[in-house]
Amino acid sequence: MKKIVFILGVIFLTISSFTTTHKFYVSVTQIDYNEEQKSLQIISRIFVDDFEATLQDRYDSSIKLSSENPNDKIDGYIEKYLQQKISISVNGKPVVFEYIGKEYDNDLILCYLEVEGVQDLETIEVSNTVLMDAFNEQQNIVHVKKGTQRKSLMLENEISQGMLKFSE
Amino acid sequence: MKKILCILTVAFLVTDFGLYAQNQNDGQQRRQLGHTNENKFKQLYDEFSTPNMYRTGSGAPGSAYYQQQADYKMDIELDDKNKKITGSETITYTNNSPDVLEFLWVQLDQNRRSKDSKTPLISSDDVKLASSPEEFVGSFLREPFDGGFNITSVKDASGKPLKYTINTTMMRVEMPKNLASGGKFTFSIDWWYNINNHVDGRGRSGYEEFDDGNRAYVIAQFYPRMAVYNDVEGWQNHQFWGRGEFALPFGDFEVNITVPADHILDGTGVLVNRKEVFTSEMMSRYEKAKKSYDKPVIIVSQKEAEAKEKVFSETKKTWKLKAENVRDFGFATSRRFIWDMMAVKIGGKDIMAVSMYPKEGNPLWEDWSTKAVASTLKSYSRMTFDYPYHKAISVHAKNQGMEYPMICWNYGRPNPDGSYSDRVKFGMMSVIIHEVGHNFFPMIVNSDERQWTWMDEGLNTFVQYVAEQDFGEWYPKAIAPAKEYPSRRGPAAKIVPYMSGDQSFIAPIMTNSENIYQFGPNAYAKPATALNILRETVMGRDLFDYSFRTYSKRWMFKHPTPEDFFRTMEDASAVDLDWFWRGWFYTTDYTDIGIGDVKKFVVSKEANKQVKDYAEGRGAKLEDFGPLVFMVEEGTDEYNTMKSNGNILDNATTLKEYLMDNFSVEERKIMKSPKFFYEVTFVKPGGLVMPLIVEYVYKDGTFETVTYPAEIWRKNDLSVKRAIPSEKEIVRIIVDPNQETADIDTTNNSWPLAEQKGQFDKFKEKMKQ
């Protein structure tokens, strides 16, 4: 707990040190456990310029992430990348997520992922190394919500995975 | 008389039921405990300090309000080769307070960068299992950079050394004798320090070094500065730990800055020796710029700046600046600067909007920086007071934004090939609007940043939102293809993720700057959003804008406290806002308001069982209560036998008789004839009190929105009921239909319970189509 406080503290310091910011490298992933649908509904918010640069470096320098560029191939690249960089275990067992799609919101890209058939959520382990291959300073915040309980992880290069426990 | 009696009895009939039932259930239970006043509408007497002669209960400066004055004369020399700055300053301090001062406190902010700075010691730290070599060297191998002040002398006006004591970032200067009220004391300080690299070391002040060996300096809090002494804090000598910014008295400045002769320099104040430092070409361009209201005129072009890159002049030039009534002084200098200016008319006066940037800022900077400055001055002047200084400068620094009087540094750098993303473009425009806006808060409305970051950042971020929207409207080409400016902070819905987050990482807005967990949302976004909600939803634009301007004008060139702001907003509007300040600024409560239950009623021919039982329980007959109109709830067993059909009057003979006996045919004609009666229970699981905004949708598709003032919650913080008579059947009720209140949970906001689709489900559905 203490560590999370510290890490969050540092993050927010970086985000808005004096007035607004230095360029910062942060993604925010929201994981909601939908009890009715027995699924983990995941929305990952990533800065579109950083994501574009990373996909260009890895796959194809012609990749353009923009709502004005409806290109089917892009979804393939995004899915391939996210499948490599995000992994989730529920109650100690690895689970598979499906890439539902993406949308753009100003300077962010929102990626929608879903894990189905989650009968119960007691513990969740998340590893998220998105963009850490491109940016040393990349930090990935993960918020998990089950009912009214909300817990958070701060993932960085050296601690890129973490576990959260949900008690009834 | 009889009529009144009847109404009273009926009223008691209803309330008594609850009490009666409760007493029976509780049986022999202990008496309830008493409590203090915990009402959310309780006035803020405990939180606010008592008004006095310095600060009035209305929120205005009082009849005995005073503030200290600190005037500076400084000779500064920048040694570009050795990255060193040396200064000799004379401060004349005027004690306008009624108090006798035994010593003076001078701020040495650069000591945060001294070798023995305590700032690194207060952050908790852990060993990183993996880190870059650069990070590792910085953390464990390299000697810390020594960027603290070297004070070489502190002397009085006659040249006699003064005793002084340095406590980290504060220096106490002892005077030969106490400084009486109304007295002046003149003393001088000589100093130098090593300038830090603000890009690597992340600073507000320092240099950026380019590959060609040139540097761009943005220099601030570079001289020993007087601390504030006032009626609220005494000496505000809280140490500078790095985050909580500055508290400074106003004064006049005469500053001579010597830099390499090929440098371009601008800073706080009027350039008094323009003819000495400008070429004749620059002079004639400057004269042209003073008359150019629609686009900037280049004073030093990119080509001219590039020609100097390899020369590194060995000679020096002194730029002389003079500023009146400013709280601080900053400047920027480099041989690589491009310089442009245009004029903007504010309240009949011409103000110069100015930008200085290395070529790395282009093409973005030559296109938009100066226009953003001009646009900001117009918007802020409309929201507060006419900008009183003669210029405002935006300087391009690689990756930071920071504000000083008349000058600020801003980020937003294109890629080396000149291309840039929307993130960079809007980041640059937003930060320029924000930092130029700081001229108003806190440079002129001079709040104490060391104590309250939100007072300048929150107010400024609020006006920034208004100014961004203006900018988008005035310069559609700048934001294309977006139709409106994509502001990050301001709209209510945008604060929901923060306010619904883990409470262990949230502090009230009224928390000292150093002790906040999430600095951005806490000190910038939440107060800005609160003010936006106050303006749009609680007070309305007319009342809010008048009050906000009143606050700005009352405290222009003065030192306000939070209470001065809170009180003025009420004083000028006649809106009691103590509940709003308490909830939004003193707690971490959030908004969650919803619909608990909706019952439908009809007028019935006779009393239902509950009413009958009540009368019987008292040994009375219904007739004893006089004529009564009865209602029955839809869906109950009694409903089917007793329900109305059509006109309510058909069912209620007593009502019909009463109307015919007491009102003329004409009067009866214009009376309402509701056919449907609803009892709606609104619930408030969230701690924040907010106005209850309800949209009633009728069967014919029309709707009506009713705003119940926040005071509806004053006697019951958890739930309230409303009886709604309606001529048309209501098919849907929605709370906060336009997301104006930052409601963190909207699943309970509608009746009948709409199948609530979250963002995820909505997106998934869209993808299937």
Cis preceding linkage at B363, omega within 30: yes
Distance from the Cα of B472 to chain A's closest Cα (Å) equals 15
Q: Do A13 and B128 touch (CB under 8 A)?
A: no
Distance from the Cα of B760 to chain A's closest Cα (Å) equals 7
| Nearest CB to B401; choose among A2, A19, A41 | A19
pLDDT digits (tens, 9 = 90+) for B85-107: 999 999 999 999 999 999 999 99
Is residue A157 within 8 angstroms of chain B, CB to CB? yes
> Lowest-confidence range among A48-52, A107-111, A157-161, B234-238?
A157-161
Task: Give 3-state DSSP helix, strand, coil % of chain A, rounded to 5.
Answer: 25, 40, 35
**CB–CB of B647/B673 below 8 Å?**
yes
Angle (CA) B5 B10 B12, round 5°? 95
What's chain B's average pLDDT? 91
> Lowest-confidence range among B466-470, B518-522, B595-599?
B518-522
Q: Of A1, A157, A130, A10, whose CA–CA distance to B136 is shortest?
A: A157
Confidence of residue B470 (pLDDT cuts 50, 70, 90): very high
Q: Do A12 and B128 touch (CB under 8 A)?
A: no
CA B231, distance to chain mean position in Å, is: 24
Q: Do B764 and A112 touch (CB under 8 A)?
A: yes
Q: Look-up: residue for tokens 């990533």?
A: A46
CA B739, distance to chain mean position in Å, is: 20
Q: State residue B348's pLDDT score.
A: 94
B373 has a pLDDT exceeding 60: yes
Q: Of B538, B509, B542, whose CA–CA distance to B526 is shortest?
A: B509
A152 has a pLDDT exceeding 90: no
Q: Which of B592, B745, B760 to mutate to test the interface with A (most CBs of A within 10 A)?
A: B760
Q: Do B760 and A17 touch (CB under 8 A)?
A: no
Terminal Cα distance for chain A, rounded: 19
Q: In 3-state terms, what secondary structure has residue B655?
A: helix
Domain ranges of chain B: 6-31+606-669, 69-122+133-452, 676-768
Is residue A5 within 8 angstroms of chain B, CB to CB? yes
Domain B69-122+133-452 matching CATH 2.60.40.1730: the answer reads: yes
pLDDT digits (tens, 9 = 90+) for B20-68: 444 445 556 789 999 999 999 999 999 999 999 999 999 999 999 999 9
**In angstroms, what CA-CA distances link A67 with A74, A109, A130, B155, B417?**
11, 10, 21, 65, 23
Is residue A167 within 8 angstroms of chain B, CB to CB? no
Q: State residue A168's pLDDT score.
A: 59
The number of CA neighbours under 13 Å toward the Cβ of B759 is: 14
DSSP conformation class of A29:
E
Q: Do B403 and A19 touch (CB under 8 A)?
A: yes
Question: What is the C-alpha separation between B93 and B96, in angstroms, rounded?
Answer: 9
Q: State residue B18's pLDDT score.
A: 41
The pTM assigned to this predicted structure is: 0.87
- In B636-702, the DSSP E strands lie at 676-683, 692-698
Q: Which of B439, B519, B744, B757 to mutate to test the interface with A (most CBs of A within 10 A)?
A: B519
pLDDT digits (tens, 9 = 90+) for A54-82: 999 999 888 888 877 777 789 999 999 99
B440 has a pLDDT exceeding 50: yes
Contacts B419 to A, Cβ<8 Å: none
Q: Do B132 and A18 touch (CB under 8 A)?
A: no
Q: Do A8 and B758 touch (CB under 8 A)?
A: no
Q: Do B421 and A103 touch (CB under 8 A)?
A: no
Q: State residue B650's pLDDT score.
A: 67
pLDDT digits (tens, 9 = 90+) for B324-369: 999 999 999 999 999 999 999 999 999 999 999 999 999 999 999 9
B15 has a pLDDT exceeding 50: no
pLDDT digits (tens, 9 = 90+) for B443-464: 999 999 999 999 999 999 999 9
Q: Do A107 and B435 touch (CB under 8 A)?
A: no
Is residue B438 within 8 angstroms of chain A, CB to CB? yes
Question: What is the C-alpha separation between B411 and B397, in angstroms, rounded?
Answer: 5
A22 has a pLDDT exceeding 70: no
Is residue A23 within 8 angstroms of chain B, CB to CB? yes
| Chain B residue whose CA is closest to A20 | B401
Q: State residue B638's pLDDT score.
A: 75
Question: What is the C-alpha separation between B373 and B295, in angstroms, rounded?
Answer: 12
The number of CA neighbours under 13 Å toward the Cβ of A60 is: 10
Q: Do B524 and A16 touch (CB under 8 A)?
A: yes
Is residue B400 within 8 angstroms of chain A, CB to CB? yes
Confidence of residue B673 (pLDDT cuts 50, 70, 90): confident
Distance from the Cα of B525 to chain A's closest Cα (Å) equals 10
| Nearest CB to B423; choose among A16, A47, A68 | A47
What's chain A's average pLDDT? 83
Angle (CA) B205 B211 B213, round 5°? 70
Q: State residue B126's pLDDT score.
A: 66
B3 has a pLDDT exceeding 80: no
Q: How many residues are there in chain B? A: 769
Q: Which helix (H) or strand (E) holds B545?
A: helix B541-554
Q: Which helix (H) or strand (E) holds B277?
A: helix B274-277
| Nearest CB to B519; choose among A5, A12, A23 | A12
Residue B320: how many CB atoms within 10 A of its CB? 16
Mean predicted confidence (pLDDT) in B265-288: 98
> What amino acid occupies position B296?
P
Q: Do A107 and B426 touch (CB under 8 A)?
A: yes
Q: Do B401 and A114 touch (CB under 8 A)?
A: no
Interface of B with A in 528-587 (CB under 8 A): none
Q: Do B502 and A152 touch (CB under 8 A)?
A: yes
Q: Do B411 and A3 touch (CB under 8 A)?
A: no
Q: State residue A21's pLDDT score.
A: 43
Q: State residue B259's pLDDT score.
A: 98
| Chain B residue whose CA is closest to A15 | B520
Contacts A154 to B, Cβ<8 Å: none
Q: Of B432, B609, B515, B672, whose CA–CA distance to A5 is shortest?
A: B515
B723 has a pLDDT exceeding 80: yes
Angle (CA) B614 B618 B619, round 5°? 115
Q: Which helix (H) or strand (E) holds B264?
A: strand B264-267
Instruction: Kindly give, in sequence order, each residue whose CB lies less than 8 Å from that of residue A77, ignoring residues fewer than 6 positions away.
Output: A55, A59, A60, A63
